[in-house]
Structure 1
Amino acid sequence: MALQATPYKISLDISDTDRGVYESVKFTVARHPSETELRLASRVLAYAMFYHPHLAFGRGLSDTDEAALWEIDLTGEIQHWIDVGLPDAARVIKASRRAPKMSVVVYGNARLWREKVLPKFAHLNNVNVFVLPQNELAEIAEKLHRSTHWGVMISDGQLYISDGDEQVIVALECWHGEMPEASL
């Protein structure tokens, strides 16, 4: 019998002073049976970082032709393709051709990926690469429950994630491109 995806009900109060985005959003995200807690937490943080009313979760792990997240306009055109993890260069290049904007949110031990993969697409102007620090991401992943309510403030490239009891500060590092900017 195949394992089922686990639904997570997420509520985010987003206050992104860098982009001028202030929204309270609720959504359900499915955790694929083979998905780690770190990857799920990365997808949720990417949702907050790039929030747009048309941003949606793709099937990601179960469909390699879809992004982890993507912004699709009302005509059905992909405006922003967002991957999380350590995608290979071919995937990044292909995605950069499918959307005017492509972002990668890297987590995990990415030093080797940075040395070997990033140079293969460094010439692409529409690709941005952001890094989530391992220790802070692990702390956030521990706080991600089947029903989660977080306040996420983004200011000067830092994420402040609060669950009401504690706050975790995540300093985003930009390895390629520019920090997210207003697109609303």
Structure 2
Amino acid sequence: MALKATIYKAELNIANMDTHQYGDYQLTMALHPSETIERLMVRILAFARYADDALEFTKDLFETDEPALWQKDLTGQLEKWIEVGCPDEDKVKKASARCSQVAVIAYGAAVAEWYKRSSKLKTLKNVEVWQLSEATTTAIQALCERTMQLQLNVMDGEWTLIGEHGQAEIEWVKLQ
């Protein structure tokens, strides 16, 4: 019998004073049996970076042709494609031809080597690559619960994610 996904819910309140974006989002995510809590929490941060009511979590690990998140317009055309981790550069290149905005939220010890080898990515104009520090991904895991209430504060470029049992400073590095 195959293992089933575990459902996580998060109430995410964003107060971004830098861009004057404020919103409350009810997020429901499936944790794939092969997925880690670290990756689940990175997906929440990816949502927060590009927060929009039309942004959706996809089947992702269940469906390999899909990113972690995407946003479609009212006609069903893809607008945003957001990958999490160190994806195959051909998949990202294909997405960049289909969408106006593509983003990769990379994390983990292998990011530097992955980015160094990803020469195709560097030629794509509509692709952003962000890296989360290992200290960030370690800290955000401590905030994870099956049902979470999270507050994200952004001011002067500093991100702080606050949960019921602590907080984490979010360190972003823009690679591209």
Q: State the TM-score, normalized to the length of structure 1.
A: 0.91
Q: Tell me which residue corresponds to 1:123.
A: 123
Letter in 2 for 1:22: Y
Deviation of the 1:28 alpha carbon: 1.1
Q: Tell me which residue corresponds to 2:49.
A: 49
Whether 1:63 and 2:63 are equivalent positions in the alignment is yes
- SS of the residue 1:122 aligns to: helix
CA contact (8 A) 2:58 2:67 kept: yes
Q: 1:89-104 residue pairs with structure 2 within 5 A? A: 89-104=89-104
Deviation of the 1:156 alpha carbon: 4.0
Q: Tell me which residue corresponds to 1:19.
A: 19
Deviates most, 14-23 or 142-151 = 14-23
What RMSD over aligned residues (CA atoms) do the two structures have, in Å?
A: 1.2
CA-to-partner distance for each residue in 1:86-144, whole Å, 9 max, x for gaps?
00110110111111100000010111112111x22211110000011112211111221
CA contact (8 A) 2:143 2:164 kept: no
CA contact (8 A) 2:160 2:168 kept: yes
* Structure 2: runs of 5 or more not aligned: none
Letter in 1 for 2:27: F
Whether 1:138 and 2:110 are equivalent positions in the alignment is no
- SS of the residue 1:14 aligns to: strand
CA contact (8 A) 2:71 2:81 kept: yes
- SS of the residue 2:114 aligns to: helix
Give identity over the alignment, percent.
36
Letter in 2 for 1:53: D
CA contact (8 A) 1:15 1:154 kept: yes
- SS of the residue 1:137 aligns to: helix
Deviates most, 13-22 or 72-81 = 13-22
- Quote the Cα distance in structure 1 between the aligned partners of 2:16 and 2:155: 6
Letter in 2 for 1:67: P
* Structure 1: runs of 5 or more not aligned: 177-184
Cα pair distance change 1:78/1:18, threshold 3 Å: farther
- SS of the residue 1:90 aligns to: helix
CA contact (8 A) 1:153 1:159 kept: yes
CA contact (8 A) 1:85 1:105 kept: yes
Q: 1:78-117 residue pairs with structure 2 within 5 A? A: 78-109=78-109, 110-117=111-118
